[in-house]
Amino acid sequence: MGLFNIFNIVSATPLAPDATMVTSTQSTGEDLNPFNAPSNVTGVDIQRIIFDTLAKVGPEMQPVPWAAERWAPVTQTAVDVYLRPGMKFHDGQPMTADDVKFTYDEMKRWKVPLYVAMLQPIKQVRVLDRLRLRFELEHPYAPLYMQTFSMIPIVPRHLWENVVPRKGLKAPWEWTESQAYVGSGPFKLVHFRPGQEIKLVRNDEHHRPPKARFWVLAFFANVNAEFLAFKKGIVDFTTGRGLTGPQMVEARTVPHLATVEMEDVGVYWMEFNLRENSPFRNHAFRHALAHTIDYTTIVKTILAGQGVQGRGVIAPANKFWHNPHIPSGEVEGPHYHQYDPVKARRILQEAGYEWDSRGRLYYPKDYRPQVLPRSAGLPGEVRTAKAHASGKVEGPGCRM
């Protein structure tokens, strides 16, 4: 989460008299209804600040109790969760085990997209007493604490129970009245103005009350407008990679801005389209293309040196998950992070690809796309290719 995580948000100390913290984002704003979670977007991040979760991922990249006081495994497929005593929703009603069970049951029942996978292993949630539950799983599930407990926003049963028939809705994510935004988190909603801002106020009764009295999430249309707001002193920090590398360099010259450089756990990556008619369906083509990416130039120019060359989707700074022993050469195995256009051309030639006099690339004769290298033990895939009078083979979507 970078700067935009719950521990920074509750710990940040505003220096201005109004005790207001302003965060920028290039999002246009999304619905804050906790059942509206199509993907992990900015609106969902705000939901998990208004609505508590059982756990949070702490600064050491480990799950730590939040609304839960603790949890204890009972068997390989059962975990008891003990709620933190004294927790209340923003309307003053206490949070109990009934609210947690109701939340998990309803999120699973309505198949909220972002949470489907992490709820699937849960067989049932049983209330043992007012502040204790038992999560029974279909099978052992390692991400239960790190993912499920830290992601699912807990809603008040007394407000959401039977809300669909009571309000005449088709689904709970259609509820937009103010009561739909009553949670138990460290901040309470003041107003939500789509395209402009979200304003929150401190929940003084929370077990981790924020140091800021107000928190404003301001929406910006583009990165230039966002940076201008930083230079004018309107914004305190951003939700993510809101600034470009060159802008970070310029920020060092602005007297009232301070820059601190440290390794980031986030990564940029490129994904290949492996659909039926895509040229990337063939492993050799992807392997060759990977060697045409000039990482050094990207880091030096586009990122203005504010980055490091990656070797996988787990950043080196994420020491808990990163494997520092990734092979560094072809002797040990595939080496995809090496810029080498000559090698890329050789890989294509060895795989049977050909160029014509105008530099257009053609599929190999009798083209049979291989999704993974043969060493992976998977059979190749046969696909019909179109033969040309020249004797070249040109498959759909691969004439360059």
Give the domains, in start order, of the chain with CATH numbers. 6-52+161-251 (3.40.190.10), 56-155 (3.90.76.10), 269-400 (no CATH)
How many Cβ atoms from other residues are within 10 Å of residue 179's Cβ? Answer: 14
Residue 184 confidence (pLDDT): 98
Q: Which residues contact 346 (CB under 8 A, 6 or more apart)?
A: none
Residue 319 confidence (pLDDT): 81
Concatenating the DSSP letter of every residue in 245-300 gives HHHHHHHTT-TT--------S---------STT-GGGSHHHHHHHHTT--HHHIII
d(CA 351, CA 393): 13
**Global confidence as pTM:** 0.74
**Sole residue written with tokens 């999002």:** 27
Pairing of strands 20-25, 237-238: parallel
Residue 111 confidence (pLDDT): 96
21 SS3 class: strand
d(CA 205, CA 97): 19
Q: What are phi and psi of 87, to 5 degrees?
A: -75, 140
**C-alpha torsion angle, residues 30, 45, 233, 243 (rounded to 10):** -90
Residue 28 confidence (pLDDT): 65
Cross-strand partners of 216? 22, 199
How many Cβ atoms from other residues are within 10 Å of residue 11's Cβ? Answer: 12
Q: Which residues contact 199 (CB under 8 A, 6 or more apart)?
A: 189, 190, 191, 192, 214, 215, 216, 217
Residue 178 burial class via C-beta count within 10 angstroms: exposed 0-12, middle 13-18, buried 19 and up: exposed
User: CA of 169: how far to CAs of 112, 161, 163, 166, in Å?
Assistant: 16, 13, 8, 8
| 162 alpha-carbon distance from chain centroid | 31
d(CA 342, CA 288): 10
63-82 b/e with 16+ CB inside 10 Å = b?
bebbbbbebeeeeeeebebb
Q: Is there a contact between 346 and 298 (Cβ–Cβ < 8 Å)?
A: no
**Sole residue written with tokens 């050909």:** 354
CA angle at residue 101 from 173 to 42, to 5 degrees?
Answer: 40
How many Cβ atoms from other residues are within 10 Å of residue 113's Cβ? Answer: 11
User: Which residue, among 194, 222, 211, 184, has the nearest Cα to 68 in the 3D structure?
Assistant: 184
Residue 391 confidence (pLDDT): 33
d(CA 225, CA 229): 6
Q: What are phi and psi of 40, to 5 degrees?
A: -85, 75
Low-confidence ranges of the chain (pLDDT < 70): 1-3, 28-30, 40, 239-242, 327-336, 375-400
Q: Is there a contact between 311 and 355 (Cβ–Cβ < 8 Å)?
A: no
d(CA 97, CA 129): 7
DSSP, res 38: S
DSSP, res 379: P
Q: If residue 42 lies in a helix (H) or strand (E), which one and from where to where? A: helix 42-50
d(CA 185, CA 11): 14
245-271 b/e with 16+ CB inside 10 Å = b?
bebbebeeeeeeeeeeeeeebeeeeee
**C-alpha torsion angle, residues 219, 223, 224, 230 (rounded to 10):** 60
